Structure 1
Amino acid sequence: MRRILVPTDFSEEARNAYEVAVSIARRTGAAIKLLHVVEAPYYGPSFSVTGDAMVGSNGMEQVYMLRLLEHTKAKMSELLGSVLRDGVEVVEEVTVDRPINKIRRTIKEDAVDLVVMGSKGSSGLDEFLIGSNTEKVVRTADCPVLTVKNRMADFHPREIVLASDFKREIRSAMEQFKQFQQLFGARLHMVYINTPGAFESSSNLRSKLQYTAEKYGLENYTINIYNDVMEEDGILHFAHDISADMIMMATHGRTGLSHLLSGSIAEDLVNHTRIPVLTVQLK
């Protein structure tokens, strides 16, 4: 792991994510980029941003945006100094853009290995219609995304839940899961949530999980079949029962109508649990 991206909105959760990223960087030697994106106003087709200059906007708009950028850079400097870095390389970037677009471009252009983001979660109509920027990153990022809510000054997960249906397509994510487990020397709890709508016998499921563990050379793991009404509830209840420090899941990265119709258990977990969630998009 060489590069970690930490998008920040200066919230408490985003600061917690930065602290977790520093903990990971200490273990891996990775460099961190702290990124804050000022939401780009729309001034029509001729409007563009070059560095800190607003092209196509009027004088008052330019003054407002330049003052906003100046204030934002001061907050970024404050955030940089709020966490003891111990020699970890951290660079900062403040820019004007659409947040999700800039984050996706940065992941590609900087060859980012991991995104660490704070998540406030959302609920009700807001969750259904829009979701958060964190959800959008989880859905579309080409690299693993770790979402954080609570403060963890020394991030060192020891009990990690790997929740999946363990079908063949998970192979594209398994190496990422293994690397994260090995990074912390954690115990991996493979769990299949058995629901009434897709019920299978425990013996068949245990055979499937054991086959998966052997196929991918997993070590220090347990195999678990957990019965619950819904998959998301089952994952949360199981994680609570074993006092898990982190949950890992693969996501299909669906967008548009497909996402609206099918939803995403991974995104729901990001919204509804205080436990850090690592998501990896299936290729």
Structure 2
Amino acid sequence: MRRILVPTDFSEQAQYAFEVAVSIARRTGAAIKLLHVIDAPRGTSFSATGDVIFNDNMEQLYMMRLLETTKTDMHKLIGTVEHRGVEVVQEVDVARIVGKIRQVIADDKIDLVVMGSKGSSGLDEFLIGSNTEKVVRTAECPVITVKQRQTDFHPREIVLASNFRREVGKAMEVFKSFQQLFDARIHLVYINTPGAFESSSNLRSKLAHAAEKYALQNYTINIYNDVVEEDGILHFAEDINADMIMMATHGRTGLSHLLSGSIAEDLVNHTSRPVLTYQL
């Protein structure tokens, strides 16, 4: 791992994400980029090079002052988190937030995104979702979401929830690398629901086959019964007092996403534990 991206809005959760990123960077030697994006208002024009085109001098003056204030806030954030020995660079831009994050991931060859999340619920969640949720859905690298301060981030008990089908193979390599990074124990869990019920013996055989196929070490196999998958994952994580949850996401968008939802994105919204997601 060489490059970690931490998008920040200067909230408490964003600071917690920066602290987690520093902990990971100390273990891996990665450099961190702190990115703050001033969300371009609707109707904003951009040049061919991506620069904002201002409609008048007052608008340009306002934006210049906002950029200066933002840079001051960025310096304060960097000074707040002890990061001695970790390379930290910063970037401030005016753009569409999620689009800019995806661009930086591609241009800077980012290996990991660490983001703060306040979570959302109710009508707001259904209609628009959060920027964090959109990044989880679209990022082409692993994403860790953080809601609460993680003192000396070192997950030792990690839940890996999956249906363990063939397409999770690439994600499993990512998950194994995080397990090895922290010398953690992985708890493989399959949530058995009434709508897709299978016998425990069949499911245990499926999970054991997956563990053997991906050469997992230091793991447990678990079948957990619950009404819906998301609740089952949350309840299981609570039962074992997990430090982190890992899941693959299919990154559905549009009508399909609104109708069927995504378990990984729901978890990001509803759990206080860090969640590592990887888009298949």
TM-score, normalising length: structure 2: 0.97
Instruction: Note the C-alpha offset of 1:95.
Output: 0.4
Q: Counterparts of 2:44 and 2:73 in 1: how far apart (Å)?
A: 29
For each residue in 1:6-45, what CA deviation from the matched residue of structure 2 results, as whole angstroms up to 9, or x when unmatched?
Answer: 0000000000000000000000000000000001124555
Q: Counterparts of 1:169 and 1:54 in 2: how far apart (Å)?
A: 40
The amino acid that maps onto 2:272 is R
For each residue in 1:179-198, what CA deviation from the matched residue of structure 2 results, as whole angstroms up to 9, or x when unmatched?
Answer: 00000000000000000000
Q: Counterparts of 2:19 and 2:213 in 1: how far apart (Å)?
A: 35
2:191 counterpart residue number: 193
Confirm or deny: 8 A CA contact 1:49 1:96 kept in the other structure. Answer: no
1:202 counterpart residue number: 200
1:37 equivalent in alignment to 2:30: no
1:86 counterpart residue number: 84
Map 1:64-213; keep pairs closer than 5 Å: 64-213=62-211
1:267 equivalent in alignment to 2:269: no
Name structure 2 gaps, 5 residues minimum: none
Q: SS in structure 2 opposite 1:81? A: helix
Q: Counterparts of 1:3 and 1:153 in 2: how far apart (Å)?
A: 22
For each residue in 1:220-256, what CA deviation from the matched residue of structure 2 results, as whole angstroms up to 9, or x when unmatched?
Answer: 0000000000100000000000000000000001111
Q: Counterparts of 1:40 and 1:97 in 2: how far apart (Å)?
A: 5
Q: SS in structure 2 opposite 1:27? A: helix
Instruction: Note the C-alpha offset of 1:49.
Output: 9.7
Q: Counterparts of 2:199 and 2:264 in 1: how far apart (Å)?
A: 25
Confirm or deny: 8 A CA contact 1:43 1:57 kept in the other structure. Answer: no
The amino acid that maps onto 2:236 is F
Q: Counterparts of 1:274 and 1:44 in 2: how far apart (Å)?
A: 36
Instruction: Note the C-alpha offset of 1:153.
Output: 2.8
2:222 counterpart residue number: 224
Confirm or deny: 8 A CA contact 1:54 1:62 kept in the other structure. Answer: no
Q: Counterparts of 1:44 and 1:11 in 2: how far apart (Å)?
A: 25
2:274 counterpart residue number: 276
CA gap of 1:95–1:50, structure 2 versus 1, over 3 A, is farther
Q: SS in structure 2 opposite 1:166? A: coil
Confirm or deny: 8 A CA contact 2:187 2:219 kept in the other structure. Answer: yes
The amino acid that maps onto 2:261 is G
1:3 counterpart residue number: 3
TM-score, normalising length: structure 1: 0.96
Question: Paired residues, what number?
Answer: 280
Q: Counterparts of 1:168 and 1:63 in 2: how far apart (Å)?
A: 54
Q: SS in structure 1 opposite 2:80? A: coil
| More displaced stretch, 36-45 vs 15-24 | 36-45
For each residue in 1:143-171, what CA deviation from the matched residue of structure 2 results, as whole angstroms up to 9, or x when unmatched?
Answer: 00000011013100000000001111111
Q: Counterparts of 2:42 and 2:26 in 1: how far apart (Å)?
A: 40
1:60 equivalent in alignment to 2:76: no
Q: SS in structure 2 opposite 1:210? A: helix
Confirm or deny: 8 A CA contact 2:54 2:60 kept in the other structure. Answer: no
Q: Counterparts of 1:95 and 1:177 in 2: how far apart (Å)?
A: 32
Confirm or deny: 8 A CA contact 2:44 2:53 kept in the other structure. Answer: no
1:18 equivalent in alignment to 2:18: yes
Q: Counterparts of 2:254 and 2:130 in 1: how far apart (Å)?
A: 15
The amino acid that maps onto 2:167 is E
Q: Counterparts of 1:257 and 1:61 in 2: how far apart (Å)?
A: 36
